Amino acid sequence: MSTVKDIEGISSDTPDVSSKENQNKTRPSLLEQAEELGISSEGVTKNALRKLIKQKRLEITKEDWKVKKKLLAKQKKAEKRQAIEAGLVEAPPKKVKLEQEPSDVRVVLDLSFESLMTTKEISSMFGQIQRCYSANRACKHPVNIYSTSLGGELERRFNEAPDMKNWKNFTFEKRNYTEVFKKEELVYLTADSPNVIHELDDDKVYIIGGIVDKNRHKLLTYNKAQEEGIQTAQLPIGEFVKLATRKVLTVNHVFEILVKYLETKSWETAFTYVIPRRKFAELDEETKDNQSEQAVTVDQGSTPST
């Protein structure tokens, strides 16, 4: 015979069906959640709708974090200013404004390779273009930059950042560079070219291939230039530094090298200033090895003195 205690024990282990039903009633349905977040559910499966809702909530969380981060930065800046005014910390030295002398050199960022890049690579390219602009603003001899064949995802990103439309010395161009400049003015900078450039000509337009490919598309820019009947050239990297990998640099690195050369008139200075140290070993080491080999050869071939 079951006791009251036994019955109570069984009752406590039995799921509360009515409680679950109440929870389901209070929880918004997928359609209600979608409507609340402004997501259209028309023609969308339940699984797809769940993914859209999840993605939207993640975006909202990221946006909230951005706002919070901005407020924290503003608060930190105000606290630092108050500390300086109170004499608790020393004020940072004022930056000396660089006197810029614009250069006549023109640089094209060829953005016609978007279809060959992943979403992540396109995002990386967008960042590299921004760094090119920043480098141009900060250099002594700013050049005129043209982003040609602009379209697709990159164009969308630029349109969503309206301040970029006010960039100085920067032209957004949907046309290909061959429609903007004369062919005889164009020089495509590519590591695959047999021609080495030693000076920058004010009358030339230097093209940098806008692609992040991790060496997947070898000869891509060189072949394109050949098909279009355009001159090609490579930077004289091999004459000054020995790269540990193939001589393919990011778009912003190539651009920074160009503007650094315009400032210093020294390729060696430009390369060692811009290229990450992990990418190359100084040619001095190779020179030392060659000198050591020569010394050994001389010692072995010399006649012992009597």
CATH assignment of the domain containing 175: 3.40.1280.30
Domain residues for 70? Answer: 34-85
Handedness of CA 101, 260, 132, 217 (dihedral sign): positive
Same domain, yes or no: 175 and 241: yes
Give the Cα separation of 146 and 149 in Å (integer). 10
Specify if 259 maps to a domain: yes
Specify if 127 maps to a domain: yes
Q: Which of 48-62, 89-103, 169-183 has the highest mean pLDDT?
A: 169-183
Write out pLDDT tens, residues 102-155: 999 999 999 999 999 999 999 999 999 999 999 999 999 999 999 999 999 999
Write out pLDDT tens, residues 36-65: 778 887 778 888 888 888 888 888 887 777
Specify if 302 maps to a domain: no
CA distances 257 to 165, 199, 266, 272, Å, are 25, 12, 10, 9
Domain count, the chain: 2
Write out pLDDT tens, residues 208-235: 999 987 667 788 999 999 999 999 999 9
The strand pairing partners of 242, in sequence order, are 281
Same domain, yes or no: 182 and 267: yes
Handedness of CA 261, 264, 268, 269 (dihedral sign): negative
Same domain, yes or no: 255 and 176: yes
Contact assessment for residue 209 and residue 220, using Cβ atoms and an 8 Å cutoff: yes
Same domain, yes or no: 211 and 115: yes
Q: What's the confidence (pLDDT) of residue 294?
A: 38
The single residue of 192, 213, 284, 289 carrying the catalytic annotation is: 213
Confidence of residue 247 (pLDDT cuts 50, 70, 90): low
Contact assessment for residue 217 and residue 117, using Cβ atoms and an 8 Å cutoff: no
**Which of 93-102, 240-249, 293-302 is least confident?**
293-302
Specify if 15 maps to a domain: no
**Mean pLDDT, rounded, for 251-261:** 96
Q: What's the confidence (pLDDT) of residue 214?
A: 66
**Residue 213 annotated to the active site:** yes
Q: What's the confidence (pLDDT) of residue 30?
A: 79
Same domain, yes or no: 169 and 116: yes
Specify if 70 maps to a domain: yes
Specify if 65 maps to a domain: yes
Residue scoring higher pLDDT (96 or 271): 271
Same domain, yes or no: 137 and 182: yes
Same domain, yes or no: 262 and 133: yes
Same domain, yes or no: 121 and 202: yes
pLDDT surpassing 90 at residue 176:
yes
Find the distance separating the first CA and the last CA of the chain, reported in whole Å.
121
pLDDT surpassing 70 at residue 281:
no
Contact assessment for residue 175 and residue 148, using Cβ atoms and an 8 Å cutoff: yes
Same domain, yes or no: 52 and 144: no
Same domain, yes or no: 247 and 145: yes
Q: What's the confidence (pLDDT) of residue 179?
A: 96
Give the Cα separation of 12 and 6 in Å (integer). 10
Specify if 261 maps to a domain: yes
**Mean pLDDT, rounded, for 92-101:** 71
The strand pairing partners of 205, in sequence order, are 106, 186
Q: At what angle do helices 46-85 and 30-37 cross, to 10 degrees?
A: 40
The strand pairing partners of 147, in sequence order, are 109, 172
Same domain, yes or no: 143 and 217: yes
Under DSSP, the state recorded for 112 is T
Same domain, yes or no: 238 and 170: yes
Q: What's the confidence (pLDDT) of residue 95?
A: 61
Specify if 295 maps to a domain: no
Pairing of strands 205-209, 186-189: parallel
Pairing of strands 205-209, 106-110: parallel
To 5 degrees, how large is the angle CA 290–CA 293–CA 298? Answer: 125
Q: What's the confidence (pLDDT) of residue 241?
A: 77
